[in-house]
Amino acid sequence: MTNRKKEHIDICLNKNVEYGDTGFEYYRFTHNALPEVNMQEIDTSVDFLGKNINAPIIISAVTYDREHQELTTNLAKAAEKLKLVMSLGSQRILIEQPQMAMDEDIRKHCPTIPLLANLGAIQLNYGFSANECNKIIQNVKADALVLHLNPLQEAIQPEGQTNFKYLLSKIKKIVDNLDCPVIVKEVGSGISKDVAFKLKQIGVSIIDVAGHGGTNWALIEGHRANNRLGETFREWGIPTVEAISQCNDVDLQLIAGGGIRSGLDIAKAIALGADYVSIALPLLRPATISEGEVIKILQQFIHELKITMFCIGAKNIKELQNTKALVKVK
């Protein structure tokens, strides 16, 4: 498992693993030459799971294995310094190969911010139950559990687990039996309105659409397997903007992940109806270097978000969400 994570990270650092259009390029903000706002007073803070954070940004799930401990702690420390949300990568390893899981207390590096535990939902069909979920939550003192859905990745992965039968009812059992909220995310192929609705019906209150147009798991697994499946399926998935707009019709808190590459993308995602965004790939290389490098790139995202809000005259995230300045151009 730890080898697989290493291969994923090496491929992400050394090959082009992004493909397609998120859809943000089809939108433009109308410039306001008289915004009547002091840029220094723009407030990007929001609440997430009852905690106040400085910007609607979630560091998306990437790692939890011991080999990448430093990378994970760099992300956690940066999230704490900037007061954002920190997600851990899959913690399956903690149950199946505990000697290969992180042995540092991650909470020590991010004591005050929301911290999210993570597991592939598919594990619920391969022996995991609420017991294992509770264990990974308690181990890191997480505020919520994130279950990821990744059928395309599993189908292309040579060792993939592809029995997705009855998964919705298994997720419901987890939602019913945990004391903390359950968030469901994709990993880059998007969540449709239909799936969002089913998740809402079983009690999931937050989803991350993790749509197409950013990190592309068909390409990553295609590289690993050295076969043509990556090329065949690199176009597969619901572009992030389309996923936001489909899921907007369902009354859920919405995280827009998948291909968020600037503060301008963040602003567009929020103006299109998302409550938060999540970011993975752009933080990966900085996280291999230092906490400071992660902070630098996140500060750039936040600065770009503020410039966008300034130039449309939005003083806070609520005003950005209600803006009429975003127009479709193609």
Ligand X SMILES: Cc1cc2nc3c(=O)[nH]c(=O)nc-3n(C[C@H](O)[C@H](O)[C@H](O)COP(=O)(O)O)c2cc1C
CA distance 164 to 223: 24
We find the least distance from the C-beta atom of residue 259 to ligand X, in angstroms, to be: 5
Q: Out of 77, 81, 109, 148, which residue is the one contacting ligand X (CB under 6 A)?
A: 148
Helix 217-225 vs helix 2-14: crossing angle, to nearest 10? 110
- Structural tokens at position 60: 């998306």
Asked if 280 is part of the footprint of ligand X (rule: CB under 6 A), the reply reads yes
Separation of alpha carbons 98 and 265, rounded Å = 38
Q: State the SS3 of 59-108.
A: ECCCCCEHHHHHHHHHHHHHHHHHCCEEECCCCHHHHHCHHHECCCCHHH
Closest CA to 2 of 86, 84, 97, 133: 97
We find the least distance from the C-beta atom of residue 87 to ligand X, in angstroms, to be 7
- Cα 97 to Cα 116: distance, rounded to the nearest angstrom: 20
Binding mask 200-219 for ligand X (x = CB under 6 A): ----------x---xx----
Q: Choose which of 258, 286, 291, 302 interacts with ligand X (CB under 6 A).
A: 258
Please report whether residue 279 would count as binding ligand X according to CB under 6 A.
yes
Pairing between β-strand 253-256 and β-strand 276-279 as defined by DSSP bridges: parallel
**88/320 with CB nearer ligand X:** 88
In this structure, what is the dihedral angle of CA atoms 53, 291, 142, 103, given to the nearest 10 degrees?
-170
- Per-residue mark of binding to ligand X, 3-42 (x: CB under 6 A): -----xx--x------------------------------
- What is the closest distance, in whole angstroms, from the C-beta atom of residue 173 to ligand X in the complex? 20
Q: Which of 77, 81, 109, 185 is the binder for ligand X (CB under 6 A)?
A: 185
Among 23, 56, 188, 190, binds ligand X (CB under 6 A): 188
Work out which of 61, 106, 110, 271 binds ligand X, going by CB under 6 A.
61
Interface with ligand X by CB under 6 A: which residues?
Answer: 8-9, 12, 60-62, 89-90, 118, 148, 185, 187-188, 210, 214-215, 257-260, 279-281, 284
